[in-house]
Structure 1
Amino acid sequence: MSWEGKSAPDFTLQDQEGKEHSLSDYQGQKVLLYFYPRDDTPGCTIEAQQFRDRLDELRSHGVQVLGVSRDTVRSHEKFARKESLNFPILADPEEVVVNQYEVLRQKNMYGKQVMSVNRESFLIDEKGVILRHYGKVKPAQHVQEILDDLT
């Protein structure tokens, strides 16, 4: 499915502090909505650190970063504290938003079929329209890729 030009599905989820965030809360600014498999795993940690370390650059382009995984608020709280994250990471343990954005995929892990969140991101404009869908994300290069698209 091509996401570009479509309205981003709205949602409401809790962040690592239990505060609710809805996509519609961010009307008037760009949002980088990034989905990741699990808190405190190698690739996810690298990606979160990149967003943390380069958040000011993204904000200078009017971008709010929101991370989403199936982990719980408690898991997010521990991960955010451990990595000093300076942006909301949203808990979707009921898999509502990962299904809305079609990032939950069947994968083969150690010979077993499991459902896992695919590492994907969506750059959403000020009116809630998807500008760019990043389907194959490399954690260490992703923030630079987004910044290149914004300039």
Structure 2
Amino acid sequence: MFDVLVYLYETYWRPDACPDHAQLTRKLSAVGFETDEIQEALSWLDGLAHAAESYQGEQGVTSMRVYSVDELDHLGEASVGFISFLASAGVLPPPMREMVIDRAMAIPGAPMDLEDLKIIVLMVFWSLGEEPDALILDELFVAPEDRLIH
């Protein structure tokens, strides 16, 4: 499913540029994605679209997030740490953080793989029509061992 999401991010600059589900399914099949993977991704994107529609900044900048036991188990330590890092850096405001957590909880399997969580973060930005700055893109895509320290 995550390969489909990355393909959509790279191919369509924003969600409203995507064709309807039937046409998108045909295009994704033609590219070589499996039907199950396509349907899972489209279903997940429907949930993301719903979350993006109800996105609003009702939580204050200083709000604190307390994770439930189920969320901690599902997300895993690395993912919770990454979400906290992005939030403390001011890159992931509380409403976007909640979208990330909601969409991560919709993925089966636990604990969440950190690389998959990074794709979810990217898709949340994409769904809101926001482009993450270069430093965040670097954090999302460049492996720590490949970073150059200046």
- Name the structure where strand makes up a greater proportion of residues: 1
| TM-score under structure 2 length normalisation | 0.29
Q: TM-score, normalised by structure 1?
A: 0.29
Higher relative contact order, chain-length normalized (CA < 8 Å, sep 6+): 1
